[in-house]
Chains A and B, each alone.
Chain A
Amino acid sequence: MLSKLTPVFKISAGIMLILVIVGMIWPDWLEQLTTDVQAFIADTFGWYYLIVVTFFVIVCLVFLVTPLGKIRLGKPGEKPEFKRPTWIAMLFSAGMGIGLVFWGAAEPISHYAVSSPTLETGTEQAIKDAMRFTFFHWGIHAWAIYGIVALVLAYFNFRHDKKGLISATLHPIFGKSMDGNFGRLIDVLAVIATVIGVATTLGFGAVQINGGLSFLFDMPTNFWMQLIIIGIVTVLFMISAWTGLGKGIRILSNTNMILAVLLFGLMFIVGPTLFILNIFTNSIGTYVQNLPAMSFRIAPLDEELREWINGWTVFYWAWWIAWSPFVGIFIARVSKGRTIREFVLTVLILPSIIGFLWFSTFGGTAISLEHNGVDIISELATEEALFGVFSNFPLGMVASIVAMILIGTFFITSADSGTFVLGMMTTGGSHQPGQRIKLVWGALLSATALALLYTGGLQALENTMIVAALPFSIIMLLMTISFIKAIFQEGKELGIGEIETNKKLKKDD
């Protein structure tokens, strides 16, 4: 087993190991370094992140209308493997899970009361702006980032029988050099972005479980508590990874969805239901209305706003990009057999609307509590905001405990599928990566999350992610160009575009 290790595995595991060790030995130095690099990247490349992400959105939308959208992510005539509701549920639990629970109440309340996207806190206008920007960060841009990676991977893997590797998707523009060292470099960069993306999200999960324990049971909030939490969850997901992708992960995924729906339903009913529905409807309007302006909003003349954009918009774009190889591989896997148009419509629009409902419910409730002077949620730490909201309602204790279990199960499923995806990426695209390789990645994921929490807590997690996303964003751009090139070629061969004049083409393809 060990003798067959690929160079991609050795190099990327080596780099992550060094990062973890440096973080343990010189935490202050590493923190300073990531802070500086992050500030440099966000300041200097903020415009680039905004343009690149909006470009992905536009590419996705184009495939919604062009006749090329009829091409199938699979062989002609192939049927989708999963039913639509299952498919959407899987998109959701993979794509955002922990993030939704972590930020559900925390982000809107922060925009409203702490640091506003329009520098106006506490007013009625601030409520609308808070919701509009939350929708923006969790809306179609996020799903376009996931969608584009998944689309490109699925197209090359299932339609053209290429390996399920990031480097394999670049064949149309770089040719054979993708099988050599250049291709390996691409895969290593993708693996590192994935490890940091997954590890960061695990870090958020651990901090939030800690926040819940501290809010409910007065336990301390510190690194050692988080060490214990990550330790316990690591043992659990290692067992799950060891026993294989089959039963364990499916049971947990279903549990996740049931718990999330329960939590959402409870908050929706005990919370200010009508206000939630009104804020949901109104924010959809302001979101759609302001989409182009928000997409390119970099505030060149206003220091304070610029800071806000770096801390939120650029951070989210980097988060989604760092997460995207992981989520993209997963989404590609479950979308086999769909047409491109169907894929884009379902991956972009439906999860966005579900996310909007989620944020209207948790964020709307938090804001309504604070605006009506019932409770001051914004004084709590970010990771405690959700529990603060629950404490104002009947069944609050039950909801808080359910939320903590939910984060725990999301943590396990994310880490488990993370080890699988990393195993796949580092064994030449194998759909059955070896157990030991998966365990090494599992250990490295948890160790990275711990090392980052140790060096500088949540802030270190956010900083590292912005750094790790930059190289992968360039790979994503190349993937998109490669995809466009290949699909236009295929379109020409199939005679798509002339479809209306000569009806040679069958409906399926």
Chain B
Amino acid sequence: MLKKAKPAFSISVGIMLVLVLLGIILPEGLESVTETIQVFISDKFGWYYLILVTLFTIICLVFFNHTIRKNQIGRS
């Protein structure tokens, strides 16, 4: 099983492992880093989240009332 692991598997497991180890060894360091990044993102990209999510909503609503609405998701 492990021999056949795809790069997507090994890389993401690796990253998560590093994160977990960091959290155990340097809990405070990790906390302050994530907090800083979080504050930065919600400050600078708040507008982006709002527009993006509303865009998804609009697209969903458009398909609600579109001729494509009869198309199934997946093969018919």
- Could you tell me the dominant secondary structure of chain A's interface residues? helix
**A contact residues around B48 at 8 Å (CB):** 277
Q: How many whole Å from A161's CB to the nearest CB in chain B?
A: 30
B65 and A281 contacting across the interface, CB-CB below 8 Å: no
Chain B residue nearest in CB terms to A67: B67
**B contact residues around A281 at 8 Å (CB):** 47, 50-51
What separation, in Å, do the CA atoms of A65 and B62 have in the docked complex?
A: 10
A274 and B65 contacting across the interface, CB-CB below 8 Å: no
Interface residues of A in 244-293 (CB under 8 A from B): 274, 277-278, 280-281, 284
What separation, in Å, do the CA atoms of A281 and B44 have in the docked complex?
A: 13
B46 and A278 contacting across the interface, CB-CB below 8 Å: yes
Q: How many whole Å from B11's CB to the nearest CB in chain A?
A: 33
- Could you tell me the dominant secondary structure of chain B's interface residues? helix
B47 and A278 contacting across the interface, CB-CB below 8 Å: yes
Q: How large is the interface on A (under 10, 10 to 19, 20 to 34, 35 or more residues)?
A: under 10
What separation, in Å, do the CA atoms of A359 and B46 have in the docked complex?
A: 20
Interface residues of B in 46-67 (CB under 8 A from A): 46-48, 50-51, 65
A65 and B65 contacting across the interface, CB-CB below 8 Å: yes
What separation, in Å, do the CA atoms of A280 and B50 have in the docked complex?
A: 11
**B contact residues around A284 at 8 Å (CB):** 51
B47 and A280 contacting across the interface, CB-CB below 8 Å: yes
What separation, in Å, do the CA atoms of A462 and B44 have in the docked complex?
A: 41
**A contact residues around B50 at 8 Å (CB):** 281
Q: How many whole Å from B22's CB to the nearest CB in chain A?
A: 30
Chain B residue nearest in CB terms to A279: B47
A274 and B51 contacting across the interface, CB-CB below 8 Å: no
Chain A residue nearest in CB terms to B47: A281
B65 and A277 contacting across the interface, CB-CB below 8 Å: no
What separation, in Å, do the CA atoms of A65 and B67 have in the docked complex?
A: 11
What separation, in Å, do the CA atoms of A63 and B48 have in the docked complex?
A: 30
B 22-56 binary contact with A (CB < 8 Å = 1; else 0): 00000000000000000000011011101100000
**A contact residues around B51 at 8 Å (CB):** 281, 284
What separation, in Å, do the CA atoms of A277 and B46 have in the docked complex?
A: 9
Chain A residue nearest in CB terms to B46: A278
Interface residues of A in 58-117 (CB under 8 A from B): 65
Cβ-neighbour of B44 out of A65, A274, A280 (below 8 A)? A274
Chain B residue nearest in CB terms to A284: B51
Chain B residue nearest in CB terms to A65: B65
Interface residues of A in 6-65 (CB under 8 A from B): 65
Q: How many whole Å from B12's CB to the nearest CB in chain A?
A: 32
What separation, in Å, do the CA atoms of A281 and B50 have in the docked complex?
A: 8
Q: How many whole Å from A342's CB to the nearest CB in chain B?
A: 14
What separation, in Å, do the CA atoms of A280 and B54 have in the docked complex?
A: 14
Q: Which residues of A contact B (CB under 8 A)?
A: 65, 274, 277-278, 280-281, 284
* New A-B pairs, 5, CB < 8 Å, besides A278-B47, A280-B47: A274-B43, A274-B44, A277-B47, A281-B51, A284-B51
Q: List 12 A-B contacts (CB under 8 A).
A: A65-B65, A274-B43, A274-B44, A277-B47, A277-B48, A278-B46, A278-B47, A280-B47, A281-B47, A281-B50, A281-B51, A284-B51
Closest 9 CB pairs of A and B: A281-B47, A277-B47, A278-B47, A281-B50, A281-B51, A274-B44, A280-B47, A65-B65, A278-B46
